[in-house]
Amino acid sequence: MARRGKLSDARYEEIKQEVLYMFEETETDTFPIDCFEIARKLHYILRSYSSLELEELLDAMGISDEGFSRVEKDPATGMNRYVIYYNDIGHGIRNIRWTIFHEIGHIFLGHHDNLPGNEQQEEDEANFFAKYAMCPPPLLHAAECKCPQDVYDKFGASNQFADYAFQYFRTWFYYGPPRYLPYEIQLLKLFHLLAA
């Protein structure tokens, strides 16, 4: 099985298509891509650390300095729901967006349904999901991103992630297929960057 990173090539392609499905399901068609709106449309509850009581905040910080997600029972309905906690205390909005996309990835990829034992693979998958959801290379190409600053300006990425996303985009551009793949064409059409 060919590998270019931590996951198999096939798994990277599956995750890219899952991101596209998420965009379609939530009717996301503009960038910078709004993780808050996507979470709302997927009926995921967002809770900032600053909104927590002190004991809850200490518990949250003990789990993660950045954020996490879990399944919780809704006290009003008794139904299970996904809740994403994100640290907005001392973290800028561009880093918060990464955290929320990462946690959306865990939920959307079904990680909360898995048995323990694959945590590192799930982290790798959620990282790639977040990277692709925030800055899909076909969108960077269509948006004519020429440098990391363009990614920062047009896609709302942090400075560090803008550098990383731009390098990923350049690799995709220079070493990827000579033409857009079918799901990339679908992505560009969804964002009104190719005629339907």
Count CB-CB contacts under 10 A for residue 6.
Answer: 14
Amino acid at 78: G
pLDDT < 50 regions, the chain: 1-4
- Name 14's Cβ contacts closer than 8 Å, sequence gap at least 6: none
The pLDDT value recorded for residue 119 is 87
The pLDDT value recorded for residue 5 is 57
Q: Are 1 and 10 in contact (CB under 8 A)?
A: yes
The pLDDT value recorded for residue 4 is 47
Q: What is the pLDDT of residues 91-112, one digit of tens each?
A: 999 999 999 999 999 999 999 8
Host H or E run for residue 48: strand 45-48
Q: Are 122 and 129 in contact (CB under 8 A)?
A: no
pTM of the predicted model, to two decimals? 0.92
Count CB-CB contacts under 10 A for residue 5.
Answer: 11
The CA distance from 5 to 2, in Å, is 9
Q: Are 83 and 44 in contact (CB under 8 A)?
A: yes
